[in-house]
Structure 1
Amino acid sequence: MADFTPIATLEGDARFDAYVARPEGDEAKAAIIVIQEIFGVNAGIRTKCDNWAKAGYIAYAPDLFWREQPHIELDADVPEDFQQALGHMQKLNQDQAIRDIEATIKAARVAVNGGKVGLVGYCLGGRLAFMAACRTDGDAFVAYYGVGIDGLLGEQHAIGKPVLLHVPTADHFVGPDAQKAMHDGMADNRHVTLHDYDGLDHGFAAELGARRDEDGAQLADGRTAAFFAAHLA
């Protein structure tokens, strides 16, 4: 069962929608928050949620662009959509987005009766997942090809829960220098694990479209599933 559900902001002065997918029987072992790419809560992100529900989790995908325009859905393979998505990303207040993610964590924790909440994000969402690891009370965090994480390393001292980063080595948005900074900068952080994916590019784990690399996606998603199974139990 899946549908959009309103979530109250932390301030309680507004509500925004999140796509919520529930497991069969509505008995969830934990919650997972799927953080969108720059393309909104589109079919690919909703499929991610649906897959987590099939695995026994209740999954949430908050609409982080709602203050500008609710329910944006764009296709990464359409050039015009890609340009629109870049514009939406530039308008997003990321600190405010973290607060909306925190509000989603709060709602998800209630839904699992105080149980654990994991977060997984892609692209922009990967960056936000790392920021959330530094700033929220989630229980486990996964970032796929997060952009600009090398510029956030000064916050990593606040990480107190497990973090998993998937890093494609041919990412044309996260170059070799940024990747090296991430590896070097977090080498001594016992909470953080990085996995490289040789020769793969940004978006390799997208559910739909031309960016997907099937072998790479299966490998990374398998690692993510094992990570959440270990840390959300």
Structure 2
Amino acid sequence: MGDFTSISTLDGDRQFDAYVAKPEAEASAAIIVIQEIFGVNEGIRAKCDSWAKAGYVAYAPDLFWRQEPHVELDADVPEDFQAAIGLMQKLNQDQAIRDIEATIKAARAAAGGGKVGLVGYCLGGRLAFMSACRTDGDAFVGYYGVGIDGLLGEQHAIGKPVLLHVPTADHFVLPDAQKAMHEGLADNRHVTLHDYAGLDHGFAAEMGERRDEAGAELADGRTADFFAEHLAG
């Protein structure tokens, strides 16, 4: 359904690729899917395709392009997992947010000036929260975002709706971090958190051993309803 296209950086001096899936009819809103540490792989592309089937134009920017363009890794392969950790550690996240900003600009143009939602997973969940604090997107969703408890000082800048999916048995986001998120965001009227009892990191992956079917369907249904409410009009 989709293919890769080039996007200009905010400075206009370089280009990077994003996977783009478009609906059959003209779209009036866009969704940006922010990758995990495994790149814009088959699972991320499948999420874009699903959003396109739902009527949105969907973009997944390649955020590792400065290190290694078109990375595709498998979370279930130990060697791939270690390679992904290395890529994540080298990523300049502030620069990644600027690339996400450039993607918002492109996606909004593709949607005829309509609203843009962002949804991210793992590293992408963290970047979705950062984007809520730093970009002009219209609605933001983070699945099992890592290190959000360390970003709470930025939440004053959030002015648009944010939805966070928090699996309680996440072995990358431990109970103390989850508690800090709940307590730190409790008074922020823009932010909603949903807990998923007993589920682990990656439960909403499109494929592979990490996926929990019931949990993924519940979270994805909530995400679809959230975007339908906040990206309309």
The TM-score bracket by the shorter chain reads: over 0.9
Contact in 1 for aligned 2:9/2:16 (Cα 8 Å): yes
Q: Distance in 2 between matches of 1:24 and 1:97?
A: 30
In structure 1, give the amino acid aligned to 2:147: G
SS at match of 2:224: helix
SS at match of 2:221: helix
In structure 2, give the amino acid aligned to 1:32: I
SS at match of 1:20: strand
Aligned pairs (5 A) from 1:4-15? 4-15=4-15
Deviations 1:108-130 (A, max 9, x none): 11111111000000000000000
- Report the equivalent of 2:215: 216
Superposition deviation, residue 154 in structure 1: 0.0
Deviations 1:149-198 (A, max 9, x none): 00000000000000000000000000000000000000000000000000
- Report the equivalent of 1:32: 31
Contact in 1 for aligned 2:28/2:113 (Cα 8 Å): no
How many corresponding residue pairs? 232
SS at match of 1:155: helix
With the length of structure 2 as denominator, give the TM-score of the two structures.
Answer: 0.99
SS at match of 1:24: coil
Superposition deviation, residue 206 in structure 1: 0.1
Question: Does residue 3 of structure 1 match 2:34?
Answer: no
Aligned pairs (5 A) from 1:1-233? 1-25=1-25, 27-233=26-232
In structure 2, give the amino acid aligned to 1:78: V
Deviations 1:192-222 (A, max 9, x none): 0000000000000000100000000000000
Deviations 1:89-142 (A, max 9, x none): 000000000000000000011111111000000000000000000000000000
Q: Distance in 2 between matches of 1:82 and 1:2?
A: 26
Q: Distance in 1 between matches of 2:108 and 2:50?
A: 19
SS at match of 2:151: helix
In structure 2, give the amino acid aligned to 1:169: T
In structure 2, give the amino acid aligned to 1:131: M
Structure 2 residues without counterparts, runs of 5 or longer: none
Deviations 1:39-67 (A, max 9, x none): 00000000000000000000000000000
Contact in 1 for aligned 2:27/2:112 (Cα 8 Å): no
Q: Distance in 2 between matches of 1:219 and 1:40?
A: 24
Q: Distance in 2 between matches of 1:62 and 1:226?
A: 23
Q: Distance in 2 between matches of 1:42 and 1:162?
A: 28
Deviations 1:7-41 (A, max 9, x none): 0000000000000000013x113100000000000
With the length of structure 1 as denominator, give the TM-score of the two structures.
Answer: 0.99
Q: Distance in 1 between matches of 2:24 and 2:208?
A: 28
In structure 1, give the amino acid aligned to 2:4: F
